[in-house]
Amino acid sequence: MPKKEIILKHATILAAYLLVVWGFYRLLFKLPDNIEEIFIKPVIWLFPVLILLRIERAGISSIGITLNNLFPSIYFVLGLGAIFVIEAVIINFVKYGGGLNFGANVGSSALFTSLGISFITATSEEITFRGYLFNRVWNALGNEWLANITTSIVWAFIHVPVAFFVWKLNLASALLYLFLTTLFGIGSAFVYARTKNVFSSIFLHVLWEWPIILFLDTN
């Protein structure tokens, strides 16, 4: 592993790259979700991570891709994920006047297809943010919570374009979404710090995203 200054520099470059490139992509293009998540996002998000790993001469275990603590990670995440589900059900119940509108945002895609895309999305985003960015910043700063808060704020900024340009949320809804996104980023990094396994963050990401897809109306 390179010196801490170099690691922090790499993390800063990657964060700036994502903010600019992904932001402009969201502003200028809108392809079907399956194309974006399966092909475009892995290229834009994961390819730079692979380049940095090669430069650092680091293995994939350095970004949390490991079988260590896999099953404890799953149990831990299921407990936390239940909180997201309960929260979404309550919001949906209130939003639809005492009824539940299951699958409001699944659209024309089959349920399992949408679930598969969610896992692909979570894999790209969590390997990049928790596996690489949070992990590297934590290693460089030596302070878990400072690294957590810093990278979670960047995580929220990454989602600004989708809130305004894709979903076209009003200001209040966008701010609420970005606040909740920041909280999720903090939670995901917290889980990663406990397990040192990026799959825990991936599973948590899906459990966070699916209550939104099934219960919450982002239109």
pLDDT along the chain (219 residues), means of 10: 88 98 92 92 97 96 91 78 70 60 52 83 97 97 97 97 89 88 93 93 85 53
State residue 98's pLDDT score: 55
State residue 71's pLDDT score: 80
Name the region of 97 (left: φ>0; alpha: ψ -120 to 50; beta: rest). left
Distances (CA, A) of 160 to 21, 76, 176: 13, 29, 11
Cα gap 35→44, rounded to integer Å:
13
Give the phi and the psi of residue 31 in degrees, each rounded to 5: -95, 165
State residue 93's pLDDT score: 67
Distances (CA, A) of 211 to 103, 114, 177: 9, 13, 14
